[in-house]
Amino acid sequence: MNLRAAIACAMLMASAAIGAQAPAPAPSTAKAIELREKLATQLTAIASGLDGVMGYSIVDLTTGDRMERLPSEVFPLASTIKLTLLYELFKQADEGKINLDEMRTLDRGQAVGGDGVLVELTTPSLSLRDYATLMVVLSDNTATNVLIDVAGMQKVTARMAAAGLPSLKLRRKMIDLEAARRGDENVGTPADVAKLLGVIYRADGLKKESAEAIVAVLKKPKNTALRAGVNPGIDVADKPGTLDGVETGAGIVYLPGRPYIFVATTTFLKNNAAGQAAITAASRAAFDYFIRLAKASEYGREIR
C-alpha cells in the first residue's frame, strides 16, 4: 500500500473518533490527501528541527482525522495538567459533591510562588469558581493547590483512568520540588490530553452548562504559544504549561466551519523559547490547513 492510500485508509478509520454527531467521511481525494501530506511534512520538519523532543496530537473535529507524533509517549505536562483538575471540579459539582460558588478564605499555608497573584495577597475570600478562573487565566499555583485539596489529588487521577485516559496523572501539588525529585511528576500523553479536550468539547459525562462553563474559562484572554499561531478573532479554549526544559500547549480552536483540537508537548528543551516557538509554528501550520478546508469547496476553490 503506498503512502497516499495508507493515509486515506487511516483517515477513514479515524472518522468515528471524535465529533458531537456522526462525523462526515474524511477527505479521500488525491487533492485532499496531497494537502494533508504537506501539513504532515511541515509538522515533521518543525518537530525534527527543535533542539528537544516534541509530540503532538491534532484532531479534526469534523471528521475525526488525527495527525500525531509520539501520541502515546508520556510527557511532563506542567500547568496543562490543570485541565484534569478543572474537569474534576465541574464533575464533582454536577454530582452534588461540591458547590463551586462556595466561598473559601485563603489559608496562607497554601500559598506558593511561581505564577499567579494570590501569593502576594493576604487572606482573600473567593468562590471555588473564582479560584478555578485564576488557575486557568493566570495559572495561579496557589489557587491550584487550594483546588487540589478540594477535589482530591487521587480522585482526579482516578477519574481520568475511569474515563479511559490512564496516562493523565496529577501526582503533586504545584511548586513541590521534593515530589518532582521523587519522580512524582504531573504527566500525560498528547493523545490523552486531546481526548480530554474532546470530552469537554462534546460535554461527555458533564452537564451541558458545566461543559460550557469550562470552555468559557479556557477561552478567557491570555497570551499563549498556541494562540499566537491562530488568527485574531478566532476563539481558542486552551491551557499552556511551562517548566524548566518543558513547554506545552493544548486547546480547542473554534474555527467556524472546521473546529479542531491542538495539543503539543515539548521536553528536553535546550531553551524554553525554542519550545514556545515550535508550538506556535505547529499551531500556525495547523490553522493554515484547517482554514483552507473551512473556506474551500470540495474542489479547493475558496468560497467567501
pLDDT for 102 equals 96
- Better pLDDT: 10 or 44: 44
Q: How many domains does the chain have?
A: 1
Domain that holds residue 284: 27-295
Instruction: Tell me the pLDDT tens digit for each residue of 178-212.
Output: 877 888 999 999 999 999 999 999 999 999 999 99
Residue 302 pLDDT exceeds 90: no
Share of the chain above pLDDT 70, in %: 90
The torsion region of residue 109 among left (phi > 0), alpha (psi -120 to 50) and beta comes to alpha
Residue 8 covered by a domain: no
Residue 287 covered by a domain: yes
Residue 284 covered by a domain: yes
| Contact status, residue 63 vs residue 24, Cβ threshold 8 Å | yes
Give the integer Cα–Cα distance in Å for 225 and 86.
21
SS3 per residue for 121-190: CCCCEEEHHHHHHHHHHCCCHHHHHHHHHHHCHHHHHHHHHHCCCCCCECCCCCCCHHHHHCCCCCEECH
Residue 10 pLDDT exceeds 60: no
Instruction: Tell me the pLDDT tens digit for each residue of 227-253.
Output: 999 999 999 999 999 999 999 999 999
pLDDT for 98 equals 98
Specify the DSSP class assigned to residue 13.
H
- Spatial CA neighbour of 151 closest among 76, 87, 204, 216: 87
Residue 265 pLDDT exceeds 70: yes
**Burial of 300 per CB tally in 10 Å (0-12, 13-18, 19+):** middle
pLDDT for 26 equals 52
Query: Over the chain, what is the mean pLDDT?
Result: 90
Residue 17 covered by a domain: no
Give the integer Cα–Cα distance in Å for 41 and 7.
13
Give the integer Cα–Cα distance in Å for 122 and 105.
10
Residue 5 covered by a domain: no
Overall average pLDDT of the 2-26 stretch? 41
The residues facing 126 across adjacent strands are 104
Residue 215 covered by a domain: yes
| Contact status, residue 260 vs residue 290, Cβ threshold 8 Å | yes
Place of cell 477535589: 151
Residue 129 covered by a domain: yes
- Spatial CA neighbour of 285 closest among 209, 211, 233, 226: 226
- Spatial CA neighbour of 120 closest among 144, 141, 150, 146: 141
Q: What is the DSSP string of 19-62?
A: -SSSPPPPP-SHHHHHHHHHHHHHHHHHHHHSSSEEEEEEEETT
**Burial of 21 per CB tally in 10 Å (0-12, 13-18, 19+):** exposed
Residue 25 pLDDT exceeds 60: no
Q: Which three cell numbers stand for residue 302?
A: 475558496
Tell me if the pTM is above 0.85.
yes
Q: Which three cell numbers stand for residue 141?
A: 499555583
Cα 22 from chain centroid (whole Å):
23
pLDDT for 18 equals 34
- Better pLDDT: 130 or 107: 130
Helix then strand then coil, in percent of the chain rounded to 5, is 45, 15, 35
**Lowest-confidence segment of 24-28, 163-167, 216-220, 232-236 by average pLDDT:** 24-28
Residues 6+ apart with CB under 8 A from 297: 303
CATH number, position 269: 3.40.710.10
Instruction: Tell me the pLDDT tens digit for each residue of 79-89.
Output: 999 999 999 99
Residue 105 covered by a domain: yes
Overall average pLDDT of the 153-165 stretch? 97
